[in-house]
Amino acid sequence: MRSDNSKINDIFKDLSFSEEEIKIIESVFHKSTYKKGSILLSANDIVDKQYYIYSGCLRSYHIDSHGKEHTVQFGVKDWWISDYTAFFSTSKSILNIEVLRDATLYRLSKEDKEYLYAKIPQVESFFRKKLERAFAAFQKRILSNLSQTATERYISFINKYPNIERSVKNYHIASYLGITTESLSRIRKELLAN
């Protein structure tokens, strides 16, 4: 049986839990709210949490040795975000996570995630499937960056994130696509002209 008013229904949409399991899950997910401009994670931080995005918009990015930002991921409602390289290893964060639009997040620690796996096996299956899809998406992104034109990458971007352009700055989109803001403007003009 599922609780009708539980955040768990939003996070684990396709799963059913007993009332006892819902209580266990709710005990380890912690709600936080962040204002636009907040930094959720900085490079070199220890990463022991991942976040479910209930509302808002975030981005993870890397700053290279020349000070240039490279956006790795945008996070919108119903997505998860963290520095997964650091989360799954003992290394420190290589990414920063910034709140682009006021956000409500549910954080889950690594320790609590392991606890859930032991107590509720279907949660482990849920996260495994999420990870598999995320890995496939990142692999597709790498291939598109290697093989598609900037225009093709932009079209894929707006299909993947149809409403995000209202929430993010042009240089965020350009850094995600691996192009300059001038190239982004040119691509938009060319697409509008066609």
Half-sphere exposure of 106 (CA within 13 A, CB side): 20
CB 85, CB 46: distance < 8 Å: no
* Dist. CA 168–CA 57, nearest whole Å: 8
pLDDT score for 85: 93
Nearest to 51 by CA among 9, 6, 116, 104: 104
The per-residue pLDDT for 163 is 84
Q: Count of H helices and E strands in the chain? A: 8, 6
At 162 the pLDDT is 85
Provide the whole-model pTM.
0.89
CB atoms within 10 A of CB 80: 19
**Cβ density class 93-125: b for 16+ within 10 Å, e for less:** bbbbbbbbbebebbbbeeebbebbbeebeebee
- Parse the chain into domains and list their residue ranges: 7-119
The DSSP secondary structure of 14-35, one letter per residue, reads: T----HHHHHHHHHH-EEEEE-
pLDDT of residue 107: 96
Asked if residues 73 and 59 have their Cβ atoms less than 8 Å apart, the reply is: yes
Can you name the CATH fold of 7-119?
Jelly Rolls (2.60.120)
Beta bridge partners, 51, equal: 81, 107
Residue 129 has a pLDDT of 94
Q: What is the pLDDT of residue 132?
A: 94
User: Over the chain (194 residues), what is each successive 10-residue block's mean pLDDT?
Assistant: 61 90 94 97 96 96 95 93 93 96 96 96 94 91 92 92 86 94 95 88
